[in-house]
Copies of this chain bind each other. A is one copy, B any other.
Amino acid sequence: MADPRFFEKADTFTLGQLVDLSKAEVSAGADLGLTLVDTAPLDRAEAGHVTCFHNTKYTDQLKATKASVVIIHPDHADKAPASAVLLLTKQPYRVFGKIAVAFYPTVQPYKGVCSSAYVDPSASLGEDVSIGPFAVISANVTIGARTRIGPHCVIEAGVAIGEDCSFDSHISMSHSIVGNRVHIKPGARIGQSGFGFHMDEHGHFPIPQLGRVLVGDDVEIGANTTIDRGAEPDTIIGRGSRIDNLVQLGHNVQLGDNCVIVAQVGISGSTKLGKFVIAAGQVGVAGHLSIGDGAKIAAKSGVMRNIKPGETVGGCPAMPVKDWHRQTVAISKLTKGQTND
């Protein structure tokens, strides 16, 4: 079970309640009155626990699990132990998420506005906003209802933040307009001036960065990630996009809705991504490019040209992923037969 020092368990549930909650199909003959007391991973689950199978690398753990309930795709149902009740769904990880939230609902660590925070008199706070210790809410900031601003956040003048957002600690934000239900993790830097200057053989000359950062609804931004504001127009993060830790987004970058940007990716200025683009870890994308809807970029790739919608690319410079795999094979053949003493 989750460590009670950090996580507060709400309650126990009957199997029937979990079926209702998840809308998953229950395996034949199950007792809907069965009491479930917790969630746990496959290899740590015990009787009374709900677990989830969503990665075939862990089939051995599935076979040995002691969980009373396994959330599982119907295609894999035959690998589950006969003793377990199955919750059958094509989206097992999502259903697990729903059930885990029921067991462990989010608890707000701070209530109200801490007396140690600085809130400018001109700032406007919605109902039930919470502001953590030593946070700074500057002039003319607006914060929507139920949004939580963590300790040591600095929200600079004029920023507008929507409802039900959750800002962890130590966040810097300026020149930004933020939607609803946005979650930002510790140490993210959003809205600072971009890397814009005239390079000159006698020394470099800064260019004012007169744009903003627009963050859509339901976005998640990772720890210590940096998102520069536009030089003008704006840097834009589309609705539902998920950005991991230590990502760099340059000025004027635009992400479409529901992009997934994994840790340590860097996207250079003025590049535009469509919807549902996936950039895996440590990818780099050059500036002023266009990456089409649904494109996928393999980890560590270096993208130096436009990518078509739906294309999957890899390598550096990035190419269609099949070409990349072929080249990898062809290169390894160059040295075939050389001994490896």
Contacts and interface: CB of A to CB of B under 8 A. Distances in A.
Interface in A87-124: 91, 93-94, 96-98, 100-101, 104, 109, 116, 118
Contacts of A232: 2, 39-41, 44
Indicate the size class of the contact surface on chain A.
35 or more
A164 interface: no
Interface stretch (A27-35, A76-84, A205-213): A205-213
Given A185-B193, A323-B335, A240 B203 contact: yes
Given A6-B157, A300-B302, A201 B335 contact: no
Contacts of A101: 208
Interface in A206-236: 206-208, 210-212, 218, 220, 222-224, 226, 228, 231-233
Contacts of A94: 198, 200, 205
Nearest to A247: B246
A330 B334 contact: yes
Interface string A145-180: 000001110101110100000001110101100000
A228 B93 CA distance: 19
A53 interface: no
B281 A189 contact: no
Interface stretch (A18-26, A62-70, A131-139): A131-139
A97 B196 CA distance: 10
A12 interface: no
B157 A134 contact: no
A331 B304 CA distance: 17
A235 to B, nearest CB: 13
A57 B340 contact: no
A299 interface: yes
A109 B250 contact: no
Contact of A195 (B6, B96, B100, B263): B263
A36 interface: no
Interface string A288-322: 10000000000110101000000000001101101
Give the residue among A5, A200, A262 with the most B Cβ atoms within 10 A.
A5
Given A93-B207, A189-B245, A203-B258, A226 B224 contact: yes
Give the residue among A41, A206, A218, A245 with the most B Cβ atoms within 10 A.
A245
A151 to B, nearest CB: 5
A186 interface: yes
A115 to B, nearest CB: 10
12 contacts: A3-B175, A7-B210, A94-B200, A101-B208, A154-B186, A183-B206, A244-B248, A264-B266, A284-B299, A299-B304, A316-B316, A323-B335
Interface of A: 2-3, 5-7, 39-41, 44, 55, 57, 91, 93-94, 96-98, 100-101, 104, 109, 116, 118, 132-134, 136, 138, 140, 150-152, 154, 156-158, 160, 168-170, 172, 174-175, 183, 185-187, 189, 192-193, 195, 197-201, 203-208, 210-212, 218, 220, 222-224, 226, 228, 231-233, 240, 242, 244-246, 248, 250, 258, 260, 262-264, 266, 268, 276, 281-282, 284, 286, 288, 299-300, 302, 304, 316-317, 319-320, 322-323, 326-328, 330-332, 334-335, 338, 340
